[in-house]
Amino acid sequence: MALAGLVGIVPLFVTETSAQSPVRIGYVDVQRILARSSAGVAAREQIEREKTTMQKEVDSKRAELEKLREELDKKGMLLSTEVREEKRETLERKVRDLRRLVDDYQKELEKKEQGFLQKVLQELSGVIERYGKQRGFLIIVERRGAGVLYGSPQADITDEIIKAYDQEKGRAKK
């Protein structure tokens, strides 16, 4: 019974709202905003620069390991047991150190990416809220998070949000 009463209310509410002004509903694609906004592009470039620096260090250490491994393989039989064992232990320690370094770098990059994402999402939340209020939207949802199975291209305001976000970030830099 209670459901029957609600069914009658919902169309009435929409009809009344429609009579006053058109209902505006929009969606945004946050992934596209992150990929195309100036802040998103700048953050990705910064992370790539850091990743490249880290990769150079890892490659250098990996080359050092390969050199040590080749030396042990070629000269291992000529070395005394003690020296050979010492070099093998050094090699194993350096391999562990390299693995730890790679893990640390991956965690550091993930943390930076997560921090960037949180910052941008906070900024976007404000931009989207202001945009929605200024233009009279009833609701704005995130396309993937809201499970939008179909959205008319006219309801997609992602590009407009990117422009508003870039303009706001541009003013903040000045």
Q: What is the CA radius of gyration of the chain?
A: 28
The C-alpha atoms of residue 91 and residue 96 are separated, in whole angstroms, by 9
Tell me the pTM: 0.67
In this predicted model, what pLDDT tens digit does every residue of 77-129 receive, in sequence order? 787 888 888 888 999 999 999 999 999 999 999 999 999 989 988 999 999 99
Question: What amino acid occupies position 6?
Answer: L
- Does the CA dihedral 11-13-18-24 come out positive or negative? negative
Classified as helix, coil or strand, 139 is strand
In this predicted model, what pLDDT tens digit does every residue of 22-44 receive, in sequence order? 788 999 999 999 999 999 999 89
In sequence order, what are the beta bridge partners of 28? 142
Helix-strand-coil split of the chain, %, nearest 5: 80, 5, 15
- 3-class DSSP string for 51-111: HHHHHHHHHHHHHHHHHHHHHHHHHHHHCCHHHHHHHHHHHHHHHHHHHHHHHHHHHHHHH
